[in-house]
Amino acid sequence: MKRNREILLVFLLLAFISFGCKYIVIPEDLMVEQAAFKAWNAMVTGVSKTDSGALHIDVTILNETGEWSSMQAVAGEPARLKSGGGESTCDVVFIGTGGHRLAPGLQMRGYTTGTKAEPVPQMLYVECAGAQAEAGAVLSINYVAFNGDLDYYHQDANQSSGTLELSLDEVATDLTYPVYTDIPVEIETVGSEILAISENVITLTAAERTDAGLTFYWKNYNPTNFALKTHIGNPPVIGSDGIIYGIFEIMDLVSTPLTPSKGEATWTTEDLVPVDVTGFYILLSVEDKQMRMYVNHLVDITDK
């Protein structure tokens, strides 16, 4: 795929030199591939049987949209399994990002449900009662996605849809989480100054590993002539096990201190994570551009 994109760029350059501003026809196969690249993808990571005899299919999803995006299987719609010349419906479908936006270039296999006090990992999988995985079996899952910034007042903006087509003959067993390819967005680190609403500046000043998980120390500088709050919620993390830790909620529902005019405010947030998981990135959403508009930032804390 990468090789074909390079060929496309060379073709466009040569065509521009040869024909100036004349109309250029791009080869259809390359156009199809480019369009397909801007979507979510998925891989089967395990096929087994449950105690009740249902076919259980473990899934990893990959953000190949080229931008921050959340996705979920269409609510109330079963997945479909074509196997052995027949078709079955799969009513148990746990596929999605748990409401979170995931950075492009990252892949995941679970998210967090339950409560903040008692979080529960929800792995991504599909179960098909009474089905068999014959050679050539294909699982189809319809999904909806929401790309780009999160606007509280227009949460359905930038909606797209698609279908994940998964061959059960191809089971991936050597995946590395959460990064699967080059990340096409800027990566922040501890100490990075991140622009927020009204020219405020958010900084992660420190990240500490604790017995329970991770503690983050935040600072906001407010250069305006009035006091305000800059909301970031309780930012979730994703690490080497491919699970997003942190329950999704709109960022301004989380308590944030008031930053005085020409002054600073500091506070902490926490994520409960297993002690044996490393390689974390923070999926940070910062209030910016306008009230209740949240811009995404990826913060590297892989050394924690």
- pLDDT(33) > 50: no
Write down the pLDDT at residue 133: 94
Q: Which H or E element spans position 40?
A: strand 39-49
Residue burial 27-63, b: 16+ Cβ < 10 Å; e: rest: eeeeeeeeeeeebbbbbbbeeeeeeeebbbbbbbbbb
List the chain domain ranges: 2-6+27-167, 187-301
- pLDDT(95) > 80: yes
Residue burial 103-137, b: 16+ Cβ < 10 Å; e: rest: bbbbbbbbbbeeeeeebeebebbbbbeebebeeeb
Six token digits for residue 219: 């600072």
Instruction: List phi, psi (to 5°) of 229.
Output: -110, 135
Average pLDDT over residues 188-199: 98
Average pLDDT over residues 143-169: 96
Tens digit of pLDDT for each residue in 235-261? Answer: 999 999 999 999 999 998 898 999 999
Look up the CATH architecture of domain 187-301: Sandwich (2.60)
Position 92, amino acid? V
What is the reported pTM?
A: 0.87
218, 259 contact by CB (below 8 A) = no
**Structure confidence at residue 38 as a pLDDT band (50, 70, 90):** confident
- Cα separation, 26 vs 29, whole angstroms: 9
